[in-house]
Amino acid sequence: MERPRPRILWINCRLLHPLIGGDRLRTYHMLRILKEWFEITYFCPRVVDDTAEAVKLAAEYSDSCATYPHRFPPKGSPRFFAEVIANCFTGSVPYMAKKYRSKRAHEWLEKTLTETRYDLVVCDYLVSLVHVMDLRLTKMPPVLVFQHNVESLIWQRHVAAAGNPVKKMIFRRERDLTLRMEEQCATLAAGQVTVSPLETEYFRDERGMKNVLGSVPTGVDCDHFQPTPEKTEPYTMAFLGSMDWEANVLAVQGFITESLPTIKQRFPEAKFLVIGRNPPGWLRESAANDPSIVVTGTVDDVRPYLARAAIMVLPLTVGGGTRIKVFEAMAAGLPVVSTPTGVEGLPVVHGEHAWIADSGAPFTEGILHLLSHPEARQTMAGRGRELVEAEFGWRKAAEIFRDHCMEIIPDAVPR
């Protein structure tokens, strides 16, 4: 008789469609494969912008999907700032987690976990752990936290970069609350999984956490992303990333200020193509006033835009996490110029798979070198493509995650 699949309750902070952003892509591709071995119930908030189609498409990555209606204050709105400031003084968890608290979510989770036997609860992102922290059940399945970032380090980098004293105060408080929540994760969760060996090492060695099981590699669909033989815009540089994430905004802002003017002096036809949802107003205004800056906003398919570019730039000074965009660019046959932060934790060798340099003048020099040497671009692009083809398929990532799940549900055997 065929053994039933172990049951996982997967708690996340959003529906996965539309598939934009490295975190959504990672979870989506892994869950599609994990369904072969586990029966997955997916639970998340449903916001005003979520369509009925997005709920329907959850069948691609889960056996069942449950949502709770939720509203977030618009980022930058008076209510948003009021909640952030209030949380600085009264919050027990960082605002990024507190904003997901919901009476409806709490009631659904208590009822479901009481009435249905699950073998494992997965909290996708640290913030999803807030739901588990609030539960008062006599018996709980083991909990695994999927850490897409070291969130406290991101907040520390924001603290260091902030010039405004009010922002610095807010970022410092968010960092401290995040550090506390990460420590709680080390005791509440049976296991943690990261997205790079570097982050695993940080949690284990620097923070002394005993429940960090390991990491899953970044994956990419090499059939979906293919090199374009001929570039129609040989001096176009692309940046790919959600433009409502502060780390990406800072990266693009720094590149436009520090690198783009020098590049345009050498190559007047150079263009900077920013591909990503929700670009801020100042960036749209910059594009309106400067024809060398092109801003796409949300796109259904990034591949036609990547096909236009000669180089992918990743001028990140703050950030962490999946860095899927690095491997998507390599799979698409683009040489990558990145800061060390942009490729942190990835097995990428400078001068072989990518050009790695600090932001500012060294970063600009790397771009100028590759724009001036088409053969060097082609060679680097080829090696990058070879790397992702050989090492970074989604099935491998899913298999590793499956094995980590089984470490903490030893009685269950996936079919």
pLDDT in the model for residue 231: 66
Q: What's the rounded mean pLDDT across residues 4-13?
A: 96
pLDDT per residue as tens digits for the range 81-99: 999 999 999 999 999 999 9
- Collapsing DSSP states into helix, strand and coil, what is residue 47? coil
pLDDT for 305 beyond 80: yes
- Collapsing DSSP states into helix, strand and coil, what is residue 195? coil
Classify domain 7-217+394-408 by CATH number: 3.40.50.2000
Alpha-carbon distance of 198 to 157, in angstroms, equals 17
pLDDT in the model for residue 126: 97
pLDDT for 171 beyond 90: yes
Taking each helix axis as running N to C, give the angle between helix 374-391 and helix 361-372, from 0 to 180 degrees, rounded to the nearest 10. Answer: 100
pLDDT for 273 beyond 60: yes
Alpha-carbon distance of 304 to 281, in angstroms, equals 24
pLDDT per residue as tens digits for the range 244-267: 888 899 999 999 999 999 999 999
Q: What is the mean pLDDT of the chain?
A: 93
pLDDT in the model for residue 1: 52
pLDDT per residue as tens digits for the range 341-368: 999 878 899 999 999 999 999 999 999 9
Alpha-carbon distance of 334 to 329, in angstroms, equals 5
H helices within 189-339, ranges in order? 197-201, 246-258, 260-266, 281-289, 303-308, 324-331
pLDDT for 410 beyond 80: no
DSSP state of 236: E
Identify the residue whose tokens are 């209030």.
86
- The gap between the terminal CA atoms of the chain, to the nearest Å, is 11
Q: What's the rounded mean pLDDT across residues 332-341?
A: 95
Phi, psi of 99 (to 5 degrees): -65, -15
Which amino acid makes up residue 119? D
Phi, psi of 36 (to 5 degrees): -65, -30
Classify domain 236-391 by CATH number: 3.40.50.2000
User: Cα 192–155–355 angle (5° rounding)?
Assistant: 85
Q: What's the rounded mean pLDDT across residues 24-47?
A: 96
pLDDT in the model for residue 408: 95
Of the pLDDT bands very low, low, confident and very high (cuts 50, 70, 90), residue 415 is very low
pLDDT in the model for residue 137: 87
229: buried, middle or exposed (CB in 10 Å: 19+, 13-18, 0-12)?
Answer: exposed
Residues whose CB is less than 8 angstroms from the CB of residue 407 and which lie 6 or more positions away in sequence, other chains included: 191, 213
User: Cα 389–390–392 angle (5° rounding)?
Assistant: 70
| 301, two tokens | 């398919």
Cα 132 to its chain centre, rounded Å, is 22
Q: Which of the two residues, 182 and 396, has the higher pLDDT score? A: 182
Of the pLDDT bands very low, low, confident and very high (cuts 50, 70, 90), residue 70 is very high
pLDDT per residue as tens digits for the range 378-409: 999 999 999 998 888 889 899 999 999 999 99
pLDDT in the model for residue 56: 97
pLDDT in the model for residue 28: 96
pLDDT per residue as tens digits for the range 115-152: 999 999 999 999 999 999 989 888 899 999 999 999 99
Alpha-carbon distance of 27 to 30, in angstroms, equals 5
Alpha-carbon distance of 228 to 304, in angstroms, equals 9
- Quick check: do 7-217+394-408 and 236-391 share a fold? yes
Residues whose CB is less than 8 angstroms from the CB of residue 187 and which lie 6 or more positions away in sequence, other chains included: none
pLDDT in the model for residue 123: 98
Phi, psi of 198 (to 5 degrees): -60, -40
pLDDT in the model for residue 393: 82
Ranges of each domain in the chain: 7-217+394-408, 236-391
pLDDT per residue as tens digits for the range 204-232: 999 999 999 999 988 888 888 999 877 66
